[in-house]
C-alpha cells in the first residue's frame, strides 16, 4: 500500500514594523547605524584611561537584506564608526546623555538644513535640534584622525570646559557603493529660540551682515563680569590649543533672537544668552585649494540684560563684552 504524504502550506509573514522610517536611504542607514552602535557599546565597559589603539579602532558592519524593511532601508549597505570608545568618552565628558543621543537620531529622521555653511558640505539636524551631522570629505576625516588624540587630551585636561566644537561621533555610510562621511556635533543654537538675524565675522570685506554690519549696529554682548572673565579665560586656553595644532583661521557667527518678534508669533520662551565657538579649520591640498569645516557647540547660557538675545560663537577679534 502506497504511503500518502501531506504537504502543509506555509504562509510567509511579511514584516509589518517599519524600522528607521526616513525618506532617503542615507538617513535610514545613519539611524540604523547609530542604533547598532548604541546596542554594541552598551556591552562594552568604558575604561578610565583610553589606549593608543582606541584612536585607531573602528567598528564596521556590512548588511545584506532580502525583503526586509525594503520600503525604508537599502538592500545592501555598510556602516562604520571611527574610534567608538573615544567618542563615547567624549559624549560622557560633554554631558551628553546616551539615551538622548540615541533618541535624537532614531525616533525621527534628521532633516537637511540648507541655512548652514557655504563650503559645499551638507548638514542634517535632529528632530529636536540638539545635534548636527555634517558631511565631510575623506581628507577631513584624515585631519580628524591627526588631531583627535590631542583634542581628547585637551578636553580631559579641561574637564570638558571649552568653547571649542564638541565632536560627538564620526561615521562612514556606504549606500549604493557611494561613501559618505558624517561628523556629529552638538548644535550651538538653542533649540528653544528662533534666530532672527545672523552675523558672520571674519575680519574680511565679505558681503552681507559681516564685521562692518556688526559694528554699525553697535551690538554688545551683556554677559556679566563673572561670565566675561570665565569666557576670556576659556578662550585663552582654546586659542593656545588651536595654535599648537596649526588651526589658525577663525570666524564668529552671531545669531540674534528678538523677543518682540517671538511674542508677535505667539511664542513663549525664556530669554537666554548662548555662547559658543565656530572654528574653521583649513588644510592645503596638492592643488593648494583650501578645505574648510564649520564646527559648532553650545557652551553656556545666561540671562540677557538687554532686549536682544545674542547667540555667539567666537572670533579672531575683540568683541564688546559688557
Sheet holding 197-201, edge to edge: 197-201, 252-257, 309-314, 272-277, 300-303
Alpha-carbon distances of 146 from 85, 104, 250, rounded to whole Å: 17, 29, 19
Query: Is-catalytic flag, 238?
Result: no
Catalytic residue among 92, 217, 249, 316: 249
Strands 178-186, 131-136: pairing kind: antiparallel
Query: Is-catalytic flag, 54?
Result: no
Comparing C-alpha atoms, which of 295, 135, 163, 174 is closest to residue 231?
Answer: 163
Q: Bridge-partner residues for 200, per DSSP?
A: 253
Copy the grid coordinates of residue 137. Answer: 570629505
303: three-class secondary structure by DSSP: strand
Residues 6+ apart with CB under 8 A from 46: 85, 88, 89, 92
151 close to 167: Cβ distance less than 8 angstroms: yes
Catalytic residue among 27, 88, 134, 275: 134
Catalytic machinery residues: 134, 249
Amino acid at each position: 500500500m502506497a504511503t500518502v504524504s501531506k504537504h502543509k502550506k506555509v504562509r510567509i509573514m511579511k514584516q509589518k514594523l517599519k524600522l528607521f522610517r526616513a525618506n532617503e536611504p542615507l538617513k535610514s542607514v545613519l539611524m540604523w547605524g547609530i542604533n547598532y552602535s548604541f546596542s554594541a557599546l552598551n556591552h562594552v565597559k568604558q575604561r578610565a584611561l583610553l589606549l593608543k589603539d582606541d584612536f585607531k579602532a573602528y567598528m564596521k558592519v556590512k548588511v545584506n537584506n532580502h525583503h526586509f524593511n525594503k520600503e525604508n532601508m537599502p538592500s545592501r549597505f555598510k556602516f562604520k564608526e571611527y574610534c567608538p570608545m573615544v567618542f563615547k568618552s567624549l559624549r560622557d565628558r560633554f554631558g551628553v546623555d546616551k539615551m538622548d543621543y540615541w533618541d535624537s537620531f532614531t525616533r525621527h529622521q534628521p532633516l537637511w538644513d540648507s541655512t548652514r555653511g557655504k563650503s559645499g558640505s551638507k548638514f542634517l539636524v535632529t528632530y529636536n535640534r540638539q545635534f548636527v551631522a555634517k558631511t565631510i570629505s575623506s581628507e577631513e576625516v584624515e585631519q580628524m584622525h591627526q588631531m583627535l588624540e590631542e583634542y581628547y587630551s585637551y578636553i580631559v585636561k579641561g574637564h570638558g570646559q571649552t568653547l571649542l566644537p564638541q565632536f560627538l561621533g564620526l561615521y562612514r555610510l556606504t549606500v549604493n557603493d557611494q561613501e559618505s562621511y558624517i561628523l556629529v556635533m552638538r548644535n550651538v543654537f538653542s533649540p528653544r529660540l528662533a534666530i532672527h538675524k545672523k552675523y558672520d565675522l571674519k575680519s574680511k570685506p565679505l558681503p552681507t551682515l559681516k564685521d562692518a554690519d556688526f559694528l554699525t549696529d553697535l551690538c554688545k554682548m551683556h554677559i556679566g563680569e563673572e561670565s566675561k572673565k570665565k569666557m576670556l579665560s576659556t578662550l585663552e586656553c582654546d586659542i593656545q590649543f588651536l595654535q599648537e595644532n596649526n588651526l589658525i583661521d577663525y570666524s564668529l557667527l552671531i545669531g540674534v533672537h528678538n523677543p518682540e518678534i517671538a511674542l508677535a508669533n505667539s511664542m513663549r520662551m525664556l530669554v537666554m544668552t548662548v555662547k559658543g565657538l565656530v572654528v574653521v579649520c583649513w588644510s592645503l591640498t596638492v592643488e593648494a585649494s583650501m578645505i574648510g569645516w564649520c564646527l559648532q557647540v553650545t557652551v553656556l547660557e545666561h540671562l540677557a540684560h538687554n532686549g536682544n538675545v545674542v547667540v555667539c560663537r567666537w572670533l579672531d577679534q575683540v568683541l564688546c563684552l559688557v
